[in-house]
Amino acid sequence: MTTAIPDLLTVPEVMVKLRMGRTKVYDLIRTRRLVSIKVDGCRRIPADAVRTFIVDRMREAG
- Could you read off the pLDDT of 21-58 as tens digits, one per residue? 999 999 999 999 999 999 999 999 999 999 999 999 99
User: What integer pLDDT is reported at residue 1 of this predicted model?
Assistant: 60
pLDDT at 5: 74
| Sequence-distant (≥ 6) Cβ neighbours of residue 33 within 8 angstroms | 53
Identify the pLDDT of residue 26: 98
pLDDT at 14: 98
Helix (H) or strand (E) holding 47: helix 47-61
* The model's pTM: 0.86
Mean pLDDT score, 8-29: 97
